[in-house]
Amino acid sequence: MSAPPLTESGPEVVALGECLVAMVAGRPGPLAEARQFDAHVAGSEANVLVGLARLGHPGALVGRVGRDGFGQSVLRRLRSEGVEISGVTIDPSRQTALLVRSRSHVGPAELRYYRTDSAGSRLSTEDVERQSRVIEGARLLHLTGITPALSPSCAAAVQAAIGLARGAGRMISVDVNYRRLLWSEAEARAALLPIVAEADVVIAGPDEAALLIGHADTEDLLLLAGALRALGPGIAVVKAGPEGAVAMGHNGEPVVCPSLPVPTIVDPIGAGDAFTAGLLAAVLEGRSLDEALRWANACGAAAVAVDGDMPGLPTREELERLLSGASGDIVR
Ligand code: KDG
């Protein structure tokens, strides 16, 4: 069967997932002592869509928010970034999810989710069916390992979306994004292996790749990328933050790329999504894996230098400046 034509004016990318509001403590310290919080629109898939939109690849989100101020904030933010939100259902019976986190002082930051039974966790196959033309008409379906962890209906929605994208011959990308607060490693592995096997591009951190392949060593990035690719995807990418990234594509040759130095890390959360946005933008443009990793690392570096998940995502012009090694001269 030949693939249906791409939607001329429709989104190039569709992502499925929960968009939430992150309340981030204003100052470093334990959550118990936090007095002020900054609200940021967050959610891995939404971050990737905003990153792609800024790089010139428009996308659409399929999801759910509550009929509340946080839901409105999510929709306004996405709309203002050029992300199509007609596939986001407003559910009057549920609340928009929240995430609360401290700012790290010693050791890792404390993160709490307030998302059980949230509007986003009610995403269903019906929501996906309603967007079938958009999913079939886009070039890429982007998924993360967060969505199937949210509820059985979310897991079913992911499967339905994969079926539509596959049936239409579209690309599928998956960021493993293992969230230990949502499910156990065994549950994640069982649910994610079949999804990874369906994907064209899989992105994982070293721990996530090790979890999927059932391997204890998280140091050898080349080994991890090779084993991840053996699970089925055409391109496997292992990203290790300051340690750089490794990709393995169709020819089985590993591509290694060092990270971009970041003088001050302001907020590391969201770096993975920025990395994914840069990588997918390059893949959509048919660029080499080497270039894709360079774009990905540059986007990740730009994101960690700024507070919040979305504000640091670079525009195309900013990415070009970063890649050319331009210093912090004033832009006139
Ligand atoms: O990748 C950053 C995300 O962790 C954040 O935006 C929230 O999507 C999120 C999640 O579920 O953890």
**Ligand 1 within 6 A of 144 CB?**
no
Summarize the confidence of residues 282-305 as an average pLDDT. Answer: 95
Q: What is the pLDDT of residue 4?
A: 54
pTM: 0.94
Is ligand 1 within 6 A of the CB of residue 118?
no
Residue 179: predicted pLDDT? 97
79-99 residue pLDDT tens? 999 999 999 999 999 999 999
**pLDDT higher than threshold 90 for residue 221:** yes
* Per-residue confidence (pLDDT) for residue 40, from 0 to 100: 94
With a pLDDT cut of 90, the percent of the chain lying above it is: 83
Q: Is the shortest distance between the CB of 15 and ligand 1 below 6 Å?
A: no
Whether the per-residue pLDDT at 204 is higher than 60: the answer is yes
> For ligand 1, is residue 44 a contact (CB within 6 Å)?
yes
Give the pLDDT mean for 171-196: 98
- How long is the chain? 332
| Interval between CA 42 and ligand 1 midpoint (Å) | 6
Residue 329's pLDDT band, with cuts at 50, 70 and 90, is very low
Q: Ligand 1, from 18, 19, 20: best to mutate by most atoms within 8 Å of Cβ?
A: 20
pLDDT tens-digit readout, 249-261 = 989 899 999 988 8
Ligand 1 atom closest to residue 17's alpha carbon, by position in its atom list: 8
Question: pLDDT digits over 54-77, tens only?
Answer: 999 999 999 999 999 999 999 999
**Mean pLDDT over the full length of the chain:** 93
Tens digits of residue pLDDT in 127-137: 999 999 999 99
Distance 12 CA to ligand 1 centre (A): 22
Substitution candidate for ligand 1 out of 146, 147, 178, 306 with most atoms within 8 A of CB: 146
Distance (angstroms) between ligand 1 centre and the Cα of 21 equals: 10
